[in-house]
């Protein structure tokens, strides 16, 4: 099977979630069932942008390669080469991590 290329449309962003912390400060290791889904990830692809209600272009603020925090309950999970990634709207990205 050929490698897939995913290009988000409009103001959507493809995010590869970063691994959640697996160990508590006390040293206890969390089992997979106790881990929260990560809210941080690396941007893998961005759409071209969209328009507002008046037809004015809304540019994309985020870029491929940036690490971001996104809303906990936003976006759609998709499988990319067996791994779970997220497609979120740009408005659901809360911060860029530097």
Mean pLDDT per 10-residue run, the chain (98 residues)? 80 88 60 62 95 93 95 87 91 93
- The reported pLDDT for the residue numbered 23 is 54
Which helix (DSSP H) or strand (DSSP E) does residue 41 occupy?
strand 40-46
Fold adopted by 12-19+35-97: 10 Kd Chaperonin, Protein Cpn10; Chain O (2.30.33)
* pTM of structure: 0.78
Residue ranges per structural domain of the chain: 12-19+35-97
- The reported pLDDT for the residue numbered 82 is 86
The set of residues, in sequence order, having a beta carbon less than 8 Å from that of 54 and lying 6+ positions away, is none
Q: Are 53 and 78 in contact (CB under 8 A)?
A: no
Q: Which two tokens stand for residue 44?
A: 């893998």
- The reported pLDDT for the residue numbered 80 is 84
Q: Which residue has the tokens 């889904």?
A: 37
- The reported pLDDT for the residue numbered 46 is 97
Closest CA to 52 of 95, 96, 92, 10: 10
- The reported pLDDT for the residue numbered 50 is 93
């Amino acid at each position: 099977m050929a490698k897939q290329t995913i290009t988000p449309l409009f103001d959507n962003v493809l995010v590869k979630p970063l691994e959640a912390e697996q160990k508590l400060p006390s040293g206890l290791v969390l089992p997979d069932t106790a881990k929260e889904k990560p809210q941080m990830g690396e941007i893998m692809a961005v759409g071209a942008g969209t328009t507002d209600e008046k037809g004015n272009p809304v540019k994309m603020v985020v870029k491929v390669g940036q690490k971001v925090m996104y809303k906990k309950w936003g976006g759609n999970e998709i499988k990319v080469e067996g791994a779970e990634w997220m497609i979120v709207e740009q408005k659901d990205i809360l911060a860029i991590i530097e």
